[in-house]
Amino acid sequence: MSPNWTSIIPCHPGEGGDLAVGSVRGDEIRTFAGMTTLGQSEPIEHCPPPCYAPRMNPAADAPILFFDSGLGGLTVLGPTRALLPTAPIVYAADYAGLPYGQKSEAELAARVPALLGRLVERYQPRLAVIACNTASTIALTHVRAALDLPIVGTVPAIKPAAALTMTGTIGVLGTEATVRQPYVDDLGARFAGDKRVLRYGSPGLVTAAEAKLRGEPVDRQVIARAVAGLRDQPGGAAIDVIVLACTHFPLLAAELQAVAGPSVRLIDGAEGIARRVAELTRGQPWLAAASPGIAAFTRSAERLPPPLATLAPYGIGRIETI
């Protein structure tokens, strides 16, 4: 029987979820414990046990769970697989909720912990990665309060961008929901206070990235509008680093680079997140050989899961609809 994805997960808060958020590079990784909620939302209710105990000594076949609204989290799964080639993998995509960037803070603050709770109950992972900037900047605190499980989130790579820029002007390209979050304000104030940080929320890049992975043509106008959304702002012509603040966007790196030009550097946080996952699981047992991963998609009347051939390069061998 398929689980009820609308119910609140039956857990209490615990220390296991208050571990870390990956940044971009090994020397840039920071721990953001107790991150505050970034939108006005209703509190998540907590029920009596069972609780999810921290996986201090997980079984060798306990998977790493990757969660995103769609296929963007594959950009995080890829480098993680490279570091942990025999790690069991469950990749979960909330196709029923895609796109997250056009949803309200209150909706995501309730939806994401509920979905993750059911996924944890179903797959019993050793660690969960919220491979989605929008979900992380809005719902990470709620998820950590609900799950006794190590949680690695994804935040815009503003700190390393500030170290890389030569002009002092950084572009942050994300979803509409991510770029308006106060947490992005805080990152800019803390790590790029002496820089100009320009933001643009693209409503079309997520759809374009999903289309590209399915082998469909990319709408070049969508790419052009996204880059123009940054460049056309006052001071935007000086941008020399663009932070890809959505895990979908690296799937379009070639198209974005072609429009932005060779003088602009694109950066994202995927490799740093992979290193953080490897750090948190160091010393844990793993299978002797890689096993085919599972991709789980929430049921959507508008979108079918992609062909298995699309996911196979990431080590996925089975698709489930839940």
- CATH number, position 67: 3.40.50.1860
72, 59: one domain? yes
Instruction: Kindly give, in sequence order, each residue whose CB lies less than 8 Å from that of residue 162, ignoring residues fewer than 6 positions away.
Output: 170, 191, 192, 195
Q: Which two tokens stand for residue 132?
A: 């989605």
180, 134: one domain? no
If one counts every other C-beta atom within 10 angstroms of the C-beta of residue 47, the result is 13
Instruction: Kindly give, in sequence order, each residue whose CB lies less than 8 Å from that of residue 118, ignoring residues fewer than 6 positions away.
Output: 3, 4, 5, 7, 9
Residue with structure tokens 């398929």? 2
For 6-56, write each residue's pLDDT tens digit.
222 223 222 222 223 332 222 222 222 222 222 222 222 223 333 333 446
**The total number of structural domains that make up the chain:** 2
178, 238: one domain? yes
Residue 223 lies in a domain: yes
Domain boundaries, position 169: 158-268
Decide: 129 and 66 in contact? Cβ < 8 Å. Answer: yes
C-beta pairs of 75-78 under 8 Å, 24+ apart in sequence: 75/131, 75/247, 75/248, 75/250, 75/251, 75/268, 75/270, 76/129, 76/131, 76/154, 76/247, 76/270, 76/273, 76/274, 77/131, 77/314, 77/315, 78/270, 78/314
125, 141: one domain? yes
For 217-239, write each residue's pLDDT tens digit.
999 999 999 999 999 999 999 99
The residues assigned a catalytic role are 132, 246
**Burial label, 125 (beta-carbon count in 10 A; 0-12, 13-18, 19+):** buried
For 140-197, write each residue's pLDDT tens digit.
999 999 999 999 999 999 999 999 999 999 999 999 999 999 999 999 999 999 999 9
